[in-house]
Structure 1
Amino acid sequence: MKDTIMTHENLDIAKTHLGRLIGFDTTSALPNRAIIDHMADYFAGLGAHITILPDETGDKANLIARFGPEGKPGLVLSGHTDVVPAGGANWTTPPFEMDERDGRLYGRGSCDMKGFAACVMAAAPGFSSATLERPLYLCFSYDEEVGCLGAPAIARHLAALDVPPMLAIIGEPSEMKLITGQKGKIAMRAHVRGTAGHSSFAPSHVNALEYAARIIAMIQDRGRTYVEHGPFDPDFTVPHATMLATTIEGGIATNVTPDRCSFTFELRSIDESRARPDLDTLLSEVEAQFLPEMRAISDEAGIEWEEVFAYPAMGDATRTPGFEALRHILPEWGGKVSFGSEGGVFEVIGGVPSVIIGPGSIKQAHKADEFIEISQLDACLYFLDQVTEFAINR
């Protein structure tokens, strides 16, 4: 890949696209149809075959824009359109207005991951004008940030094609390095039921908040077990599985024993085959330890488990035919990542091997004054040139 800064002829076009994309507030809690329709109209105007996959409400949708012929193994260029909440208090400039300064472009989603989408849009006229021998599928989803909820519909659509794609390139921020692995995740919510009463009679009650705290301590212990005993994979940014509590709520007053407490926790796994069994073992141990003593005070006490969402890990695609075919244009290897992506969904549900290559650094994501280096957009545009050349040649 050419190492340049601000030299690609489409760089200003990519910046313009990025400014427009940032202007759509696509926080996951909101509809994304406006941005999907904007991108669909743009790609359709260049001659792409458009498929829109709406959710059951019609307020959210996935987009698949195909350039090139059907019936041949092609490539997927994949991104998500949703962003995490901005929380504007700590922003130097409005989060949904792009601001350029010091070689960076600021705005919510600039890095994660509208920068990649902007580069794909800037490259699309080249896809349109070239005589492609292989199809390029431009896939943009909804609700990745809250559990990869939109991607399964795209993956099923691709799997149903007469000739599915050979490889998916997920444009998550990787500093334009090749990422060949991603952890899976299971997000859970625990609901602890106790009994309420005046806190002066605490021994007669089941304190839901205290039992939640004891369960969280067990979750913390399991997390330490992964740190100490693995399994390990040194290619990951965090070389072992992680388990931790993330949110909690319970109690109504200082003089009332809490009868309800809910908290969320997560397991990020490097060994997909162990994730469910490990989680099930932990839940069984929790129930065996706490339910008898809780119900010795009240039959109404209990623990309920709710799966919030889950997505699979992305496996190693390096030995697949698609990877081998693209090996000559792929950038420097950057290891494996602990954050989530839709790569595992494409692989497990769609049967499409996946890698991550995208502009920007994950260190800039999910925070105030999110930005992407302009040089990263430039590098991405040069990479997309090579993707175009690959699709032109048999």
Structure 2
Amino acid sequence: MQSGADKSGTIAILDRLVAFPTICGTSNADLIDWVEQYLVATGARVERVPGDAEGRSSLFATIGPDGPDGIILSAHSDVVPVAGQDWTTDPFRLTARDGRLYGRGSSDMKGFLACMLTAAASAGRRTLRRPLHLAISHDEELGCLGVRSLLRALGQQGVTATGCVVGEPTEMGVAVAHKGKIALKITCHGRAAHSANPFRGQNAIVLASEMVIAAGRMQDHIRQVETHDGRFEVPFSTVQIGLIDGGTALNIVPDRCVIMAEIRLLPGYDGADYVAWLHDAARRITDDGARGGITVEIVNAYPGLASSGDGGILATGLRHARQNKTGVIDFGTEAGLFESELGIPCIVCGPGSISRAHKADEYILPAELAEGDRFLAGILDDLCAEPGA
């Protein structure tokens, strides 16, 4: 660690975690090896779950007795890329400067993972009456991809718990809802021709532009007809065109253009009607094939989170976060998948701020890590308490 920061406890663990360049879409094997060894040393029972992609794995660890009444702490091990960003420090070396700890993933979300490992070490020295579980996934930043193989494995084993804390950076606020997402690939097929007579071809970029306009009209429709949820900054579902790729040369009528788009859905919406809208638009634009073809493909999707707000993990989270109200977050997490796939109630609560994530000079404050440690220590006390205490 640079600049003489405290090298003990959670900060020392974070220092080690940041040093693993676990960029999403690449191997996380070295980090998983290190964390697995760390957890085994605490006395945890650790299962390594291979991912669907080569070189990626998840971990599920349990400390304490077996049983259905434990609590899961959940974090992802991957981080977003640093390429093209103007960092003033080495992004993969935790650097203490001006009271901040800089490093990729420090807030999102290796800070919480470090707090989890500190809690695991403490749990290994105590007598738990209910189990503490730790779930560590991969490739969350690609659309919650890596956690799916982990959840399949846990589902096959019949693992359950009274609740799950997904420790994304919420500044220790307790979030009970976030939007879901559908990622779409819209491929427009035209017909190539020499640009000297473009009427002999069918311009795929023109088809794509009409699909962009159709998506904009759908956004207007959504704004008008959806029941707004005023808890969110944008209180309705949104449509975003993120990437367009088409054409090979200026003097060739392009025969292919690809649009990458996403729909961010209010909790409770599955988006099927909106995907159907885009399919219908594709048929109208191409005149059912007379003007080429347009395909609309779902490449990824994850559900939103809509906690019931009743007791259990929510009451636990509010008590130990020292909060008396809940909130929502605008970004997606794995929490909706834990609820939909395993039926485990979730909250999202962790140290750091999402406003610092995904950009240069990401950082977390030592005091925020200390708050994360205090929060998890309270949960651990609950797991050690006599029933009814």
**In the alignment, does 2:286 pair up with 1:291?**
yes
RMSD, aligned CA: 1.9
Q: In the alignment, which residue of structure 2 is the partner of 1:343?
A: 335
194-203 or 221-230, larger mean C-alpha shift? 221-230
Contact 1:359 1:379 (C-alpha < 8 Å) held by counterparts: yes
Out of 87, 94, 97, the residue aligned to residue 93 of structure 2 is 97
Unaligned runs of 5+ in 2: 1-5
Once the two structures are superposed, residues 89-122 of structure 1 have per-residue CA deviations (whole angstroms, 9 ceiling, x without a partner) of 4111121111111221111111110010111112
Unaligned runs of 5+ in 1: 1-9
Q: How far did residue 56 of structure 1 move?
A: 4.4
Q: How far did residue 317 of structure 1 move?
A: 3.7
Q: In the alignment, which residue of structure 2 is the partner of 1:69?
A: 65
Q: Normalising by structure 1, what TM-score?
A: 0.91
Distance 2:156 2:270 in 1: 29
Q: In the alignment, which residue of structure 2 is the partner of 1:379?
A: 371
Distance 2:370 2:321 in 1: 16
Contact 2:44 2:62 (C-alpha < 8 Å) held by counterparts: yes
Contact 1:320 1:353 (C-alpha < 8 Å) held by counterparts: no
- Number of aligned residues: 380
Distance 2:329 2:362 in 1: 20
**In the alignment, does 2:319 pair up with 1:328?**
yes
SS at match of 1:347: helix
Contact 2:39 2:120 (C-alpha < 8 Å) held by counterparts: yes
Out of 94, 104, 111, the residue aligned to residue 107 of structure 2 is 111
Distance 1:58 1:261 in 2: 30
Aligned letter for 2:278? L
Contact 1:317 1:354 (C-alpha < 8 Å) held by counterparts: no
Out of 264, 277, 302, the residue aligned to residue 293 of structure 2 is 302
Aligned letter for 2:94? M
Q: Judging changes above 3 Å, is the alpha-carbon distance between structure 1 residues 228 and 349 closer, same or farther for their aligned structure 2 residues?
A: same
SS at match of 1:245: strand
Distance 1:249 1:58 in 2: 28
Q: In the alignment, which residue of structure 1 is the partner of 2:207?
A: 211
SS at match of 2:244: strand
Distance 1:56 1:214 in 2: 36
**Richer in helix (by share):** 1
Contact 1:11 1:378 (C-alpha < 8 Å) held by counterparts: no
Aligned letter for 1:309? N
Q: How far did residue 159 of structure 1 move?
A: 3.6
Once the two structures are superposed, residues 276-323 of structure 1 have per-residue CA deviations (whole angstroms, 9 ceiling, x without a partner) of 222222322x12321217x435xxx21122222111111214225443
Out of 195, 202, 205, the residue aligned to residue 199 of structure 1 is 195
Alignment of 1:351-370 (within 5 A): 351-370=343-362
* Overall identity of the aligned pairs, in %: 35
**In the alignment, does 2:310 pair up with 1:319?**
yes
Q: Higher relative contact order by CA 8 Å / sep ≥ 6: 1 or 2?
A: 1
Alignment of 1:33-182 (within 5 A): 33-56=29-52, 58-87=54-83, 89-161=85-157, 164-182=160-178
**In the alignment, does 2:239 pair up with 1:248?**
no
**In the alignment, does 2:386 pair up with 1:391?**
no
Distance 1:75 1:193 in 2: 50
Q: In the alignment, which residue of structure 1 is the partner of 2:3?
A: none
Alignment of 1:266-281 (within 5 A): 266-281=262-277
Q: How far did residue 374 of structure 1 move?
A: 2.0
Aligned letter for 1:249? D
Distance 1:326 1:380 in 2: 12
